[in-house]
Amino acid sequence: MYIEAVPNRDSPPAILLRESYREDGKVRKRTLANLSSLSAEVIEGLKVLLRGGVAVPDAQEVFSIERSLPHGHVAAVLAAARQCDAPAWFASAPEDLRALLLAMLVARVLTPGSKLATHRMLHDDTATHSLGRVLGVGQCSADDLYRALDWLHGAQPAIERRLARKHLAGSTLVLYDLTSTWLTGRCCELAARGHSRDGKRDDPQIVFGLVCAADGCPIAVEVFAGNTGDPATVAEQVAKLKQRFGIERITWVGDRGMLTSARIEQVLKPQGMDWISSLRAPQIAQLAAELGPFQPSLFDERNLIEVSSEHFPGERLVVCRNPLLAAERSRKRAELLAATEADLGKITAATQRARQPLRGEQAIALRVGRLIDRFNVAKHFELTITETTFAFRRKADSIAAETALDGLYVIRTSLSAKQLDATSAVAAYKSLAQVERAFRSMKTVDLHVRPVFHYNTERVRAHVFLCMLAYYVEWHLRERLKPMLFDDEFLEQAQGQRASPVAKAVRSEHARDKDTSKHASDGLPLHSLRTLLQDLATLAYNITHTSLNPNAKIVITTRPTPLQDKAFKLLAVNPACTQ
């Protein structure tokens, strides 16, 4: 290390503490601290120390560390946010809120929590990492965070337009799916009881739909009342893309519960939109009855055939057969039938026991009603109930008819074969799994959209939007750090080498090597994103001063480990210079 004076035009020169190092055979240097605020005597003493001399009797009197804060993970996520152009999202905000909005975005990736918890981790007196000091928001108040959230709600359309222009330009496919999350309290107007994807039937909830680009990158999010059905949200999302984003022709990819036949006829067709979805089970049975049973011999090595039907005019239907899925459904059905028979057998035994036998047609029927559809296979049983007896048997014809459809699913699309071949249509539909990954990250793994600590409708919407923007940053962070993660770097190539898109997705050979060795090719250990951020957090942000001038604060970051250095190079960031 050495001290260098850097000319600064007509102003006094900047006095910088620097370190030289060798990289790729070249000598490079980086700045560790700006010492311009120190007196000439202190600077001269530091020069003596760096040359190996003694400036004071006790070296402990030179620097005193006031505080040491975790910093490496802050530098990494902040760099990813800046590379995503996040500061431009907030450029129209009041000047005192711009840095705070960026801090709230980064904090949601680092340590998700309530806005009050975020305020504590940002404030200088209670900070748990360096983010507040790096962005200069360490003296913000809790009310400032709520003002920033209110501004974000109003800015959502403009930010989403920016993302749509960036990621949907030249693309015709968008992925759309819906999920729900529960709320506490009764004050939010959006809170309502509906179909809970989280199994929380006793709590009110909200529903939100996520629009993603074809590669899974999030573009827009919309929050609905908790009792809103999946299909009812489609019209609003179609209008958003067409009117707000100015996209005239687009292909929607959604599951069969979302893009129903009614929604296609009433919303997508009138708007001139295309679609890729799938048929429901009754529609598949109807198709099989119309075109004849789909025997396994009808499918080639790709396990798919393309058909058409008068019930779906103007659409192409791709019938897919997955043998592994067929075997699994057959196994599961057999177990459910056996479990239901065991329950019904107890009722038969109750009617035949010697002491207090179960009697009465109504009493027996009530007992049967509580158990018959416990495993959703009531349609496969024929029941006989009298005043004194109960008997049951399996419906062989019903079971055989359902078995014939095991492993079959049907993709429906309005696109012509020239626009999208059958294989690509199946792959596009299966890419909805990327939206599910986004929901999993937002709700449970990383960003924790729940629990929602807000009651005001606008703030609930803004909170969900902030979580979506945080996932946008995380998505790009993962892309850049893939060589250090267990994520598959060559997933698209591996899927392109599959014999059939119907087959189970496989990891590339490179990813399987990662799974086996648990190390990258350079010998460094691999991580999940969360554990990698925890490792980066051990790089500290030290706030120091000298005994000669206690009011002059010097920030010195610790030297990165080889693993941390690799991460910072992939992100193209110097953790010592993150202002």
Q: State both tokens at 529.
A: 């994103």
User: Rounded mean pLDDT of 333-352?
Assistant: 95
For the CA atoms of 263, 266, 269, 275, the dihedral, rounded to the nearest 10 degrees, stands at 0
% the chain with pLDDT above 70: 96
- Is the separation of the CB atoms in 38 and 549 below 8 Å? yes
Cis peptide before 451 (omega within 30 of 0): yes
Location of structure tokens 């009433």: 266
Pairwise CA distance, residues 327 & 342, whole Å? 23
- Is the separation of the CB atoms in 507 and 488 below 8 Å? yes
Q: What number of other Cβ atoms are within 10 A of residue 233's Cβ?
A: 20
pLDDT band at 486 (very low <50, low <70, confident <90, very high): very high
pLDDT higher than 80, residue 444 = no
- Is the separation of the CB atoms in 301 and 499 below 8 Å? yes
Q: Give the three-class secondary structure for 305.
A: strand
Q: State both tokens at 63.
A: 């620097």
DSSP H or E stretch at residue 556 = strand 554-557
Pairwise CA distance, residues 477 & 479, whole Å? 5
Q: How far is CA 173 from the centre of its chain?
A: 19
Phi then psi for residue 159, to 5 deg, are -65, -40
Q: What number of other Cβ atoms are within 10 A of residue 28's Cβ?
A: 10
274-278 and 251-253: which strand pairing? parallel
Predicted confidence at residue 300, as pLDDT, reads 65
DSSP H or E stretch at residue 176 = strand 173-182
Q: What number of other Cβ atoms are within 10 A of residue 23's Cβ?
A: 8
Pairwise CA distance, residues 570 & 197, whole Å? 37
- Is the separation of the CB atoms in 305 and 298 below 8 Å? yes
Write out pLDDT tens, residues 228-278.
988 888 988 888 888 888 887 789 999 998 899 999 999 998 888 899 999
pLDDT band at 53 (very low <50, low <70, confident <90, very high): low
Euclidean distance between the first and final Cα of the chain, in Å? 22
- Is the separation of the CB atoms in 557 and 74 below 8 Å? no
Q: State both tokens at 203.
A: 């709590």
Strand partners, 207: 180, 224
- Is the separation of the CB atoms in 343 and 369 below 8 Å? no
Q: Give the three-class secondary structure for 222.
A: strand
Pairwise CA distance, residues 56 & 546, whole Å? 11
DSSP classification of residue 524? P
Q: State both tokens at 491.
A: 């997933």
Contacts of 505 (CB under 8 A, 6+ apart): 430, 495, 498
Write out pLDDT tens, residues 27-36.
888 888 888 8
Predicted confidence at residue 59, as pLDDT, reads 45
Write out pLDDT tens, residues 292-340.
778 776 676 668 888 999 999 999 999 998 888 889 999 999 999 999 9
Pairwise CA distance, residues 424 & 496, whole Å? 10
Average pLDDT, the chain: 89
Write out pLDDT tens, residues 124-140.
999 999 999 999 999 99
Least confident of 309-323, 406-420, 445-459, 505-519: 445-459
Angle formed at CA 110 by CA 105 and CA 111, multiple of 5 degrees = 100
User: Rounded mean pLDDT of 354-371?
Assistant: 93
DSSP classification of residue 360? -
- Is the separation of the CB atoms in 358 and 368 below 8 Å? no
Phi then psi for residue 458, to 5 deg, are -65, -35
* Of residues 41 and 346, more confidently modeled: 346
pTM of the predicted model over 0.95: no
Q: State both tokens at 82.
A: 């800046």
DSSP H or E stretch at residue 367 = helix 361-371
pLDDT higher than 80, residue 178 = yes
pLDDT higher than 70, residue 55 = no
Contacts of 496 (CB under 8 A, 6+ apart): none
Nearest of 168, 214, 264, 167 to residue 430 by alpha carbon = 214
Question: Helices 323-352 and 361-371 sit at what angle, rounded to 10 degrees?
Answer: 150
User: Rounded mean pLDDT of 176-194?
Assistant: 86
Nearest of 162, 174, 151 to residue 84 by alpha carbon = 162
pLDDT band at 161 (very low <50, low <70, confident <90, very high): very high
Location of structure tokens 């918890």: 117
- Is the separation of the CB atoms in 569 and 480 below 8 Å? no
Angle formed at CA 497 by CA 493 and CA 498, multiple of 5 degrees = 120
Pairwise CA distance, residues 287 & 318, whole Å? 11
